């Protein structure tokens, strides 16, 4: 078959630039990678034991496609207590990581040709999902407002696209790549504009448990009937490879999302679902240890970047810092990141795939030793580029 006979929406989407870059630098056996959003912690022991017990109990059969009832009930209670979600067990679908929840939501909420607002810098998966579903991704630059979407920016985006029905918006809070956390006031200020224009919110809260000195609020608190919340255990319980997440939404719409999900994946792995019940019923504090370590690393990096005169978006959550490449380096993000990899064996993520070709994303889900190596590499590169004195 000729390639041009395939679905053009799929052909237009490029493979994840983040993965491609990570693969490229991984060819160097000495590379220290601060690239992917991968916790450097292990799955909590009690969760591992629950998975082993589940195997031994032969819980190996098809679970109900929405997810096992115990898990949906556990998720309803856990996230209500943590963040005030107002969704009952029958408004929750257990998904294969947050990614599958996002994918099923994009596929279900929107009709081809409708617009989705994506505040940028953004996690690149949203744009890819919009494109693959034949939607119009409308990137809204938020760099002037501290990487927080404002009602004015929403109104301006609507006015600038009179021919597009803007049906959705993605809010990533805490944010990948910037680590920004919306305040209660910033979130609630957006509610009237979303309500007036009937814009559905996809609220990606996968980093909700990783905030430093500030509280995470869920936009769904104010707009439960017009929000699909995406969350999961990948970051809070360091379970990225186990692939378990959740989509929460109002009755009716969530039933349709469950249908899309069923025909894509059936349901997440049975053993993982049983282990996830343990995580949500006895692992309320599992993220606390990680949070403390991440916070210290974040402090080390922000102090170091400040000393080097490098500007960055003030991070309050997740495990990323989005730093500006000093203008005097005269390099775009891919060139700069490749120089760091080639000269000092340190891998940082180019900012271009997130929407800023003059930035780099540092993931501090990595050892202190690796973070020191990254600061060292940045220092040497700035000296090499004549930005810092020798």
Residues 6+ apart with CB under 8 A from 207: 173, 174, 175, 176, 235, 317, 318, 319
Nearer to ligand PLP, 37 or 326 (CB): 37
CA–CA gap between residue 279 and residue 48 (Å, rounded): 9
Residue 63 interacts with ligand PLP (CB under 6 A)? no
Do the Cβ atoms of 54 and 271 come closer than 8 Å?
yes
Nearer to ligand PLP, 210 or 387 (CB): 210
176 contacts ligand PLP (rule: CB under 6 A)? yes
Contact positions with ligand PLP (CB under 6 A) in 335-374:
none
Could you say which of 39, 63, 67, 97 contacts ligand PLP (CB under 6 A)? 97
Residues 6+ away with beta carbon under 8 Å from 215: 184
Q: Examine residue 205 and tell whether it contacts ligand PLP (CB under 6 A).
A: no
The answer to whether 319 and 329 have CB atoms below 8 angstroms apart is: no
For residue 187, the 8-state DSSP code is H
Q: Is 99 in the site for ligand PLP (CB under 6 A)?
A: yes
Q: Is position 231 an interface residue for ligand PLP (rule: CB under 6 A)?
A: no
Residue 241 CB, shortest distance to ligand PLP, in Å, is 9
158 vs 365, beta carbon nearer ligand PLP = 365
Task: For residue 245, state whether it binds ligand PLP (rule: CB under 6 A).
Answer: yes
Instruction: Give the nearest residue (CB) to ligand PLP.
Output: 97
317 in contact with ligand PLP (CB under 6 A): no
- Closer residue to ligand PLP in complex, CB, 205/278: 205
> 158, 171, 206, 290: which one contacts ligand PLP (CB under 6 A)?
206
CB of 99 to ligand PLP, least distance (A): 3
- Measured distance between the N- and C-terminal CA atoms of the chain, rounded to whole angstroms: 58
Q: How many CB atoms lie within 10 A of CB 332?
A: 15
The structure tokens listed for 159 are 């006015």
Per rule CB under 6 A, count of chain residues that contact ligand PLP: 13
Q: Longest C-alpha distance within the chain, in Å?
A: 64
Q: Which of 211, 221, 240, 366 binds ligand PLP (CB under 6 A)?
A: 240
Contact with ligand PLP (CB under 6 A) among 121, 232, 268, 355:
232
Locate 36 and state its tokens: 């992917």
236 binds ligand PLP (CB under 6 A): no
CB neighbour list of residue 53: distance below 8 Å, 6 or more residues apart: 274
* Closer Cβ to ligand PLP, 274 or 377, answer by number: 274
DSSP codes, 269-336? -HHHHHHHHHHHHH-TTHHHHHHHHHHHHHHHHHHHHHHHT--B----BTTEEEEEPPGGG---HHHH
Indicate the residue among 247 and 277 with the shorter CB distance to ligand PLP.
247
CA distances from 248 to 163, 172, 210 (A): 31, 15, 20
List Cβ neighbours of 138 (8 Å cut-off, separation of 6 or more).
Answer: 115, 116, 117, 118, 157, 161, 164, 166
Rule CB under 6 A: is residue 37 a binding residue for ligand PLP? yes
123 part of the interface to ligand PLP, by CB under 6 A: yes
Among 35, 105, 172, 273, binds ligand PLP (CB under 6 A): 172
**Using rule CB under 6 A, residue 204 touches ligand PLP:** yes
16 interacts with ligand PLP by CB under 6 A: no
**Residue ranges that bind ligand PLP, judged by CB under 6 A:** 37, 97-99, 123, 172, 176, 204, 206, 232, 234, 240, 245
């Amino acid at each position: 078959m000729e390639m041009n006979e395939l679905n053009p929406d799929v052909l237009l989407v490029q493979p994840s630039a983040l993965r491609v870059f990570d693969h490229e630098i991984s060819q160097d056996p000495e590379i220290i990678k601060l690239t992917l959003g991968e916790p450097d912690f292990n799955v909590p022991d009690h969760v591992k034991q629950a998975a082993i017990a589940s195997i031994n109990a032969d819980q190996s059969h098809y679970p109900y496609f929405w997810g096992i009832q115990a898990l949906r009930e556990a998720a309803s209670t856990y996230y209500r207590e943590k963040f005030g979600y107002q969704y009952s067990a029958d408004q929750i679908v257990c998904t294969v990581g947050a990614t599958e929840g996002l994918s099923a939501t994009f596929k279900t909420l929107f009709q081809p040709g409708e617009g989705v607002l994506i505040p940028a810098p953004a996690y690149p998966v949203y744009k890819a999902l919009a494109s693959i579903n034949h939607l119009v991704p409308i990137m809204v630059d938020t760099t002037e407002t501290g990487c927080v979407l404002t009602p004015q920016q929403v109104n301006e985006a609507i006015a600038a696209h009179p021919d597009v029905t803007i049906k959705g918006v993605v809010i990533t809070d805490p944010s990948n790549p910037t680590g920004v956390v919306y305040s209660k006031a910033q979130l609630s200020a957006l509610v009237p504009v979303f309500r007036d224009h009937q814009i559905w919110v996809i609220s990606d809260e996968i980093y909700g448990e990783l905030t430093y000195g500030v509280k995470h609020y869920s936009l769904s608190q104010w707009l439960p009937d017009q929000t699909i919340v995406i969350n999961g255990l990948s970051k809070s319980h360091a379970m990225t490879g186990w692939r378990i997440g959740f989509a929460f939404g109002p009755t009716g719409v969530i039933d349709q999302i469950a249908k899309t999900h069923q025909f894509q994946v059936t349901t997440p792995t049975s053993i993982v679902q049983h282990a996830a019940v343990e995580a949500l019923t006895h692992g309320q504090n599992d993220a606390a240890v990680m949070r403390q370590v991440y916070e210290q690393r974040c402090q080390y990096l922000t102090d170091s970047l400040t000393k080097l005169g490098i500007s960055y978006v003030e991070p309050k959550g997740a495990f990323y810092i989005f730093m500006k490449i000093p203008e005097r380096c005269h390099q775009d993000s891919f060139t700069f990141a490749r120089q760091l990899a080639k000269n000092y064996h340190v891998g940082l993520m180019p900012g271009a795939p997130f929407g800023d070709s003059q930035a780099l994303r540092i993931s501090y889900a990595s050892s202190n030793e690796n973070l020191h190596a990254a600061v060292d590499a940045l220092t040497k590169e700035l000296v090499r580029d004549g930005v810092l004195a020798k």
